[in-house]
Structure 1
Amino acid sequence: MTEYNNWDNAQILSKECNANARYIKKSIWIRIQRYEQRRGGPLPKSRVLPSPDYYDVDIMFLVETKLSPDETVILGQCTPPGYKFISLSRPKKDGGGGIGTVYKENIELSITPSSFTTVNFEYCIATLKNSVQFVVVYHPPPSKVNGLKRSEFLEDFEVFLEELSVIPTEVVLVGDYNIHVDEPLKPETRKFNDILSSNGFRQLITEVTHKKGHTLDLLITNENDNTIQRHAVLPPFYSDHRIITCSINHAKPPPVKSVIRSRQFGKMKPEQFTELLQKRMSEFPLDCEDPNVLTDAYVSLTKSVLDEVCPITTRERTIRHRLPWYNEDIHLARRIRRRLERKWRKSQSEEDNEEFVAQKNQVIKLITDSKIEYFSKKFSESNVKDMYATINGLLNKSQKILPVLDCPDQALANKFLSFFIEKVEKIRANVNVSPSSADDCVADADSVEISNPRSNLDANINCCLNTFTPLSETDIEKIIKRFPSKTCNLDTLPTWLVKDNLPILLTIFTKIVNSSLMSGIFPNALKESIITPVIKKSNLDNNMLKNYRPVANMKFMCKVIEKAASCQVVTHVDNYNLGEVNQSSYKKSHSTETALLKVKNDILQYVDHGKVVFLVLLDMSAAFDTGGSPYPVE
């Protein structure tokens, strides 16, 4: 087991976490195998951990975070790359308290719910792979303001400890108890120690942990437990509380590795692909009219060319998280800072401390300047869409949330698939639409005369769209070029490569699109998409599948056919004035803003005329999926 520099690594995340200093007062740190556990003061300003693999900090518990659930920006800034953050806000809305857990993504750590409730202290139970339970406790000091009493805390804590004593796994309690265990003759201290011993626990910290000379921050384990291998109380630096580090005997999880099967387009010669594709064009059956055959031929042709020019390779790599603004100057300055810190820790001289603090401030300045330069350049070169994506990342709004279930990824995907399918099937089953009633509706619609006040069209003109019009290569080219160069993983060719070779592929795209439109057949090969479950609101329960909506990423050819059809449908609806006047969605020059303006204006007009207004809002569940009935088409 290699030697580990406790102090240097314990301070990394606190200084490097991109956190707002005023929100976090104390923290507890844990590290696997030599499980480093830290408790310290307010996190200094805006620093992010550039290389978690290098510093090897595994778990951190934050105490008295003063964070509310809606402060996603602070939560995001407190989370270094490659880590997760779980925040439990204080029940009372007084701006204090709160417990947070920051841990590596490859660590199997979960927050364990408990039925025990109390107002005298806060706690959080984090279970490490069903083997060790870490219980973080924060007991606020009793005062007239909070109305807490030490005696009530001891009573509740005794009941809480009795429940923990029967847990079959190893239990480690950490946190700020605000009990002066360094004064064993005090009544509350004697009572506290009796509670520990009677339930088979022991307290390991004997050194001073507070600037006023008391031991308030504790490390408690079972009496016969050898989970804790070593621990230490480090010199004060961040706040009025000192740092406690400890090491536990637990297998360290291996680095996260991923097996990647992909084509390395960066090494491909584009001119070689274009030349070979031009030679193989004779293999495409341009005289065929079956969209399924044409689509399969296109996939086979492009795949064979890519396999020859840019074959699929399989490689394994360790997942590393890098920050784009982290550079060599910052890396060198941090190395100097750590060397000066070790020097100060050894000498404890004021001169060495000043030198260390000066270098620490230099690192902070370099990081700040680098981040300002990076994001200024990024915003100046971004379009509106990319700019919003960057802002959402900074505001921690682009995080991916999935259920925390004890099952493999494939099983979770199947759970989502079954849920989304069953949801739509149930809704459709409850919609009482029969073929006969649908036919009646169509018959009634055919007999209705269309009035068109905005044009001189004959009211009795047949306005049915019976067939699509074939598109020219120029039309298809315009449609393709308007699409952004995004690619679905199911596509044979990436979109950018399609656009680069559009003069060659344009004939194929036009043939497939027109054959699909004229035959009314959508190719089977395009009836696939990648579904991503996206949680509807960040404050919803992430373990409830009903709180997710499916977002589909379709193949590029599918989008082209869809656009070619929708353009003709929209043109037809506009020409014959068939559109809904009050529709605002998917309508040119309309949006939610125009809808709100219309509703508000109507309400005000009716109120001005002395009428009572009732507003009824209807929300159709899975509206797009349930709209896939064949009857409206007929």
Structure 2
Amino acid sequence: MAGLTIDGSELGNNQYLTVQLLMVHSEKLFNYLYRGQCEQDSQIGRRGKQQTSIPTLITERKANHHPNRGVNLSNLKQLPNLYTPPPICLNACLWNVQSAANKTTQIADYIQEHDIDVFIMTETWLHDYDAVIIGELTPPGYTYLNVPRPSGTRGGGIGVVFKTPLKLRQIPQEIHTTYFEHVYITDFTKRLTLVVIYRPPPSRDNGFRTSDFLTEFDSFVDDISVSPRKLLLVGDFNIHWDEQNKWDVKKYASIISSVNFQQHVDKPTHRSGHILDHVLSCPDDELIRKIRDDLHAGVCDPANDVPCDNCPQFAQFHPLTEDEVLHVISKSSNASCLLDPEPTWLLKDHIQYHLPALTAIVNASLTSGVFPKAAHSAVVSPLIKKPSLDKDNLQNYRPVSNLSHLAKVIEKCASAQLVEHFNTNELTDPLQ
């Protein structure tokens, strides 16, 4: 039994969907996520001692042991199931990132701040040799599953960042597609198959046509719908689901309904107001529990896109307690900068000695409105875009800026108060 909750927010031109996936898999998965340990081996006793098995005697039963005795099946009584694994709620996020290389810090921070279990990305534009970028966007305790564009050309690509104890893995498939990219993913219980899809929009460069995609997608869903596992399809389909009268949407809807799939997203996922990102599942599988209906938070003047006169003003930042600063630091990654006096992991290990001073610095910066001068600097390192490029050509490098850990902490503390003010007073854009 499973369910998911979807909400959205926009970064750049594309909205990302946050998904709450409720799964009942097994007691072992429950132990992984909530008890912090795997189910112990059944051969080991409670005190860690090896249990000895009870000796048994096996003999061969003779045929027709009681030839004249009948069998009364009505005497059989079904025993009730005494244990039902508790439901496990997995927070997932779907986002068309359009290059993850320049959003590594943003992705890692979002995953940690929102405790995301599975972070799904389309259009990562990453390859197998982008180990540095993948390391930057993968927080501690998470694993990155990289699926580059099969052709190896620029663009496309699918990536999944997940909590390591979930043990997600890619399922090899013999189904090859031309007009869209896809990947099959499952957990160790093998009860649910997650299919992530990215369909590039038709253009003169790729020569793709919508009719070709629909024909290939029709055959694709026919093949995967016979799977004994529960299926969940998510991704960027570049089909305007909100325009139900268009021929391609009608054909697409007919295809998914023919295999008893339902499209659950009914709110815009693009700043133009269209629904491009879809979540598909079979209603009988009960994978979808709820879709949040608060995507369209009100703004003061949506017609003119300007705030009105009676909008609540943000007067000043309020000081933080040591516990609030500790929460921000503990949620941050262990990435360090050459400007840091000590590694971030060492700071966290001895945070009790540094917390009072750090809290005082953060509050002094917030109340005075002045960013510490020492935090203005950053270490900028050149990173080659591709290993195959000419290393003597400076145009083949991109700058990577690394701020000090103190600067990041102050920024996150200020950002948290601003976001809280915007959300409380409904000042954000409807698609943000």
Question: In structure 2, do the counterparts of structure 1 residues 211 and 321 end up closer, same or farther at CA, with 3 Å as the change threshold?
Answer: closer
Greater Rg over alpha carbons, structure: 1
Q: Which amino acid aligns with 1:72?
A: A
Alignment pair present for 1:185 and 2:245 = yes
Alignment pair present for 1:165 and 2:165 = no
Match of 1:224 in 2: 284
Match of 2:204 in 1: 144
Match of 1:62 among 121, 133, 146: 121
* CA deviation string 1:108-145 (max 9, x = no partner): 21111111111100001111231221111111111121
Question: In structure 2, do the counterparts of structure 1 residues 331 and 55 end up closer, same or farther at CA, with 3 Å as the change threshold?
Answer: farther
Match of 1:47 in 2: 105
Match of 1:82 in 2: 141
Q: Which amino acid aligns with 1:192?
A: Y
Question: In structure 2, do the counterparts of structure 1 residues 199 and 58 end up closer, same or farther at CA, with 3 Å as the change threshold?
Answer: same
* CA deviation string 1:359-408 (max 9, x = no partner): xxxxxxxxxxxxxxxxxxxxxxxxxxxxxxxxxxxxxxxxxxxxxxxxxx
Question: In structure 2, do the counterparts of structure 1 residues 235 and 337 end up closer, same or farther at CA, with 3 Å as the change threshold?
Answer: farther
Match of 2:354 in 1: none
Q: Distance in 2 between matches of 1:57 and 1:195?
A: 32
Matches within 5 A, 1:187-226: 187-226=247-286
Q: Distance in 1 between matches of 2:423 and 2:253?
A: 33
Match of 2:48 in 1: none
Secondary structure of 1:188 counterpart: helix
Matched residues, number:
255
Secondary structure of 1:212 counterpart: coil
Structure with bigger strand share is: 2
Shift, 1:234, TM fit: 4.3
Q: Distance in 2 between matches of 1:136 and 1:188?
A: 21
Alignment pair present for 1:334 and 2:394 = no
Match of 2:57 in 1: none
Question: In structure 2, do the counterparts of structure 1 residues 204 and 38 end up closer, same or farther at CA, with 3 Å as the change threshold?
Answer: same
Match of 2:45 in 1: none
Q: Distance in 1 between matches of 2:5 and 2:288?
A: 17
Q: Distance in 1 between matches of 2:164 and 2:124?
A: 21
Match of 1:103 in 2: 162
> Are the aligned partners of 1:182 and 1:214 in contact in 2 as well (CA < 8 Å)?
yes
Q: Distance in 2 between matches of 1:77 and 1:102?
A: 12
Match of 1:325 among 322, 335, 344: 344
Shift, 1:92, TM fit: 2.5
Q: Distance in 1 between matches of 2:192 and 2:92?
A: 14
> Are the aligned partners of 1:209 and 1:216 in contact in 2 as well (CA < 8 Å)?
yes
Match of 1:458 in 2: none
> Are the aligned partners of 1:30 and 1:60 in contact in 2 as well (CA < 8 Å)?
no
Q: TM-score, normalised by structure 1?
A: 0.36
Match of 2:216 in 1: 156
Identical residues among aligned pairs (%): 29
Question: In structure 2, do the counterparts of structure 1 residues 185 and 36 end up closer, same or farther at CA, with 3 Å as the change threshold?
Answer: same
> Are the aligned partners of 2:124 and 2:155 in contact in 1 as well (CA < 8 Å)?
yes
Q: Which amino acid aligns with 1:118?
A: T
Question: In structure 2, do the counterparts of structure 1 residues 150 and 133 end up closer, same or farther at CA, with 3 Å as the change threshold?
Answer: same
Q: Distance in 2 between matches of 1:225 and 1:68?
A: 35
Shift, 1:224, TM fit: 1.5
Consecutive unaligned residues of structure 1, counting only runs of 5 or more, are: 15-20, 237-319, 358-634
Shift, 1:25, TM fit: 7.9
Match of 1:35 in 2: 91
> Are the aligned partners of 2:16 and 2:269 in contact in 1 as well (CA < 8 Å)?
no
* CA deviation string 1:408-458 (max 9, x = no partner): xxxxxxxxxxxxxxxxxxxxxxxxxxxxxxxxxxxxxxxxxxxxxxxxxxx
Q: Distance in 2 between matches of 1:5 and 1:144?
A: 37
Secondary structure of 2:161 counterpart: strand
Q: Distance in 1 between matches of 2:6 and 2:213?
A: 32
Matches within 5 A, 1:35-434: 35-42=91-98, 45-47=103-105, 49=108, 55-128=114-187, 129-232=189-292, 234=295, 322-323=334-335, 324-325=343-344, 330-331=408-409, 333-349=411-427
Question: In structure 2, do the counterparts of structure 1 residues 105 and 215 end up closer, same or farther at CA, with 3 Å as the change threshold?
Answer: same
Q: Distance in 2 between matches of 1:221 and 1:114?
A: 20
Matches within 5 A, 1:443-462: none
Q: TM-score, normalised by structure 2?
A: 0.52
Q: Which moved more, 1:50-59 or 1:201-210?
A: 50-59
Question: In structure 2, do the counterparts of structure 1 residues 76 and 218 end up closer, same or farther at CA, with 3 Å as the change threshold?
Answer: same
Q: Which amino acid aligns with 1:176?
A: D
Q: Distance in 2 between matches of 1:215 and 1:59?
A: 22
Q: Which amino acid aligns with 2:154?
A: G
Shift, 1:37, TM fit: 2.6
Higher relative contact order (CA 8 A, sep 6+): 2
> Are the aligned partners of 2:15 and 2:95 in contact in 1 as well (CA < 8 Å)?
yes
Shift, 1:339, TM fit: 3.3
Q: Which amino acid aligns with 2:415?
A: R
Q: Distance in 2 between matches of 1:230 and 1:80?
A: 28
Q: Which moved more, 1:113-122 or 1:224-233?
A: 224-233
Q: Distance in 2 between matches of 1:73 and 1:235?
A: 37
Q: Which amino acid aligns with 1:167?
A: S
> Are the aligned partners of 1:52 and 1:81 in contact in 2 as well (CA < 8 Å)?
no
> Are the aligned partners of 1:182 and 1:206 in contact in 2 as well (CA < 8 Å)?
yes
> Are the aligned partners of 1:142 and 1:148 in contact in 2 as well (CA < 8 Å)?
yes
> Are the aligned partners of 1:30 and 1:61 in contact in 2 as well (CA < 8 Å)?
no
Shift, 1:223, TM fit: 2.4
> Are the aligned partners of 1:52 and 1:82 in contact in 2 as well (CA < 8 Å)?
no
Q: Distance in 1 between matches of 2:5 and 2:409?
A: 18
Secondary structure of 2:291 counterpart: strand
Secondary structure of 2:232 counterpart: strand
Shift, 1:82, TM fit: 1.1
Question: In structure 2, do the counterparts of structure 1 residues 5 and 344 end up closer, same or farther at CA, with 3 Å as the change threshold?
Answer: farther
Shift, 1:34, TM fit: 4.4
RMSD: 3.6
Consecutive unaligned residues of structure 2, counting only runs of 5 or more, are: 22-88, 298-331, 336-342, 348-357, 359-405
Question: In structure 2, do the counterparts of structure 1 residues 27 and 93 end up closer, same or farther at CA, with 3 Å as the change threshold?
Answer: farther
> Are the aligned partners of 1:176 and 1:217 in contact in 2 as well (CA < 8 Å)?
yes
Shift, 1:338, TM fit: 2.5
> Are the aligned partners of 1:36 and 1:57 in contact in 2 as well (CA < 8 Å)?
yes
Q: Distance in 2 between matches of 1:224 and 1:7?
A: 22
Q: Distance in 2 between matches of 1:207 and 1:26?
A: 10
Q: Which amino acid aligns with 1:325?
A: T
Secondary structure of 2:177 counterpart: coil
Shift, 1:225, TM fit: 2.2
> Are the aligned partners of 2:264 and 2:279 in contact in 1 as well (CA < 8 Å)?
yes
Q: Which amino acid aligns with 2:206?
A: N
Question: In structure 2, do the counterparts of structure 1 residues 178 and 40 end up closer, same or farther at CA, with 3 Å as the change threshold?
Answer: closer
